[in-house]
Amino acid sequence: MTVVELMGAPGSPYTRKMLALMRYRHIPYRISWQSITAPGDMGHKNRPKPKVALLPTYYLPDANGEIQAVTDSTPILRRFEEEYEGRSVIPSDAIMAFLNWLLEDYGDEWLTKSMFHYRWHYAADIKKAGSILPRWGNISASDEEIEPLSKYVSDRQTGRLTYVGSNEVTKETIENSFTRFMTLLDAHLQTAPFIFGQRPSSADFAVYGQLTCLALFDPTSSAIVVSEFPRIYAWTELMEDLSGLAVADDDSGWLDSSSAMPETLLALVQELARLYIPYLKLNAEAVMSSAEMVDGEVDGRPYQQNPFPYQAKCLQWIGEQYAALSDRDKARLAELTAETGLIEALS
């Protein structure tokens, strides 16, 4: 059996998303640990370099069998759906699969703002991340060797806060949205062990990836999760290794659209409609008009960040996923989510 090769780091939420996914799906892998340790150090010496240096980087064959460096967990996860049978992480019902796409995207693109904000905003978090992150790629390095790397990593990452959108204007919006999302997820997990029922979906893995930082590692956010959302702390630990989880061989265990959706899932959808999709639209407008700043309102408060072209693409993909639904599914989605404002947000 082919072994999938990748480079990643334990401090990278997307690496953790994909490691947990591969464990659950029984996809054998080999990882080389990499932390962002020194200028120009991103990349495996004897390997092709990806177009954009991101973690995780996978080394996968293209159509001609040539190994290429590829990044972006969302399409890679779907490539694995084609290549490996069983234990799928995409709900079998088209409507639930669409909502799963949205929630996966929220985890990857919005919850990560909380992750980056909590890790690089408060002194205790910066100190912990600065001292641990560079060690993950250099476990035997001496303290003297680590010291300048700690400084490099902290300076570099705090300098990137502005790209992620964590700043004095948005701090409150990001922190409020984190506790609100935790409250909604906590309520929903009281109805089922995973977001879309009895088996984990790609949205669970995306949210889990960010929570390996927010719940388990970074002291400020972890203190919030441990004291206010112990269920989510426990869930995050469970998600890490689902290789032994028994799931039905058929497609049973997923929520489906034939009956009403749980109120707690609708509340999560409402959060996407109210906050996430409007944010994506604001960003996409700024990208399309080549504005210098995203400058508008999110969640009823002023919002500013540097325009992010990748997230304009995310909005386009969401539109394509919606357009691919049959007319019947679109009508049923509208009916099921009528109270949430989702369809209005998507239009």
Ligand X SMILES: N[C@@H](CCC(=O)N[C@@H](CS)C(=O)NCC(=O)O)C(=O)O
- In the complex with ligand X, the residue whose CB is nearer, 72 or 299, is 72
Please report which helix (H) or strand (E) contains residue 5, including its range: strand 4-8
Rounded least distance, CB 122 to ligand X, Å: 19
Each residue 13-52 as x (binds ligand X by CB under 6 A) or -, in order, gives xx--------------------------------------
- SS3 labels along 54-122: CCCEEEEECCCCCEEEECCHHHHHHHHHHHCCCCCCCCCCHHHHHHHHHHHHHHHHHHHHHHHHHHHHC
Rounded least distance, CB 313 to ligand X, Å: 10
Candidates 22, 69, 72, 333: give the one binding ligand X (CB under 6 A). Answer: 72
**Under the criterion CB under 6 A, does residue 71 sit at the interface with ligand X?**
yes
**Under the criterion CB under 6 A, does residue 118 sit at the interface with ligand X?**
no
What letter would DSSP give residue 295?
A: E
Helix (DSSP H) and strand (DSSP E) numbers for the chain:
16, 6
- In the complex with ligand X, the residue whose CB is nearer, 53 or 267, is 53
Rounded least distance, CB 17 to ligand X, Å: 7
- In the complex with ligand X, the residue whose CB is nearer, 108 or 125, is 108
**Under the criterion CB under 6 A, does residue 73 sit at the interface with ligand X?**
yes
**Under the criterion CB under 6 A, does residue 12 sit at the interface with ligand X?**
yes
Give CA–CA dist 183/124, Å, rounded: 24
Rounded least distance, CB 235 to ligand X, Å: 21
Candidates 93, 104, 108, 175: give the one binding ligand X (CB under 6 A). Answer: 108
Give CA–CA dist 299/305, Å, rounded: 15
Q: CA torsion 25→30→36→37, rounded to 10°?
A: 150
Q: How far is CA 128 from CA 123, 217, 328, in A?
A: 9, 9, 51
Total number of residues binding ligand X (CB under 6 A)? Answer: 10
Please report which helix (H) or strand (E) contains residue 281, including its range: helix 277-288
Residue 164 sits at the vertex; the CA angle it makes with 162 and 170, to the nearest 5 degrees, is: 70
Contact between residue 75 and residue 127 where contact means Cβ atoms under 8 Å apart: no
Rounded least distance, CB 81 to ligand X, Å: 15
Interface segment toward ligand X; rule CB under 6 A; list 9-17, 84-92, 221-229, 242-250: 9-17
- In the complex with ligand X, the residue whose CB is nearer, 55 or 275, is 55
Candidates 74, 158, 176, 183: give the one binding ligand X (CB under 6 A). Answer: 74
Interface segment toward ligand X; rule CB under 6 A; list 68-76, 194-202, 287-295, 332-340: 68-76
- In the complex with ligand X, the residue whose CB is nearer, 121 or 330, is 121
Give CA–CA dist 272/270, Å, rounded: 5
Interface segment toward ligand X; rule CB under 6 A; list 12-20, 128-136, 226-234, 301-309: 12-20
| Cα-Cα-Cα-Cα dihedral sign, residues 269, 273, 274, 278 | positive
**Under the criterion CB under 6 A, does residue 212 sit at the interface with ligand X?**
no
Task: Compute CA 66 distance to the chain's CA centroid, rounded to the nearest angstrom.
Answer: 28
Question: Which tokens go with 316?
Answer: 């386009």
- Helix 219-228 and helix 230-240: axis angle, to 10°? 110
Rounded least distance, CB 156 to ligand X, Å: 8
- In the complex with ligand X, the residue whose CB is nearer, 302 or 310, is 310
Task: Please give the residue ranges that form the binding site for ligand X (CB under 6 A).
Answer: 12-14, 54-55, 71-74, 108
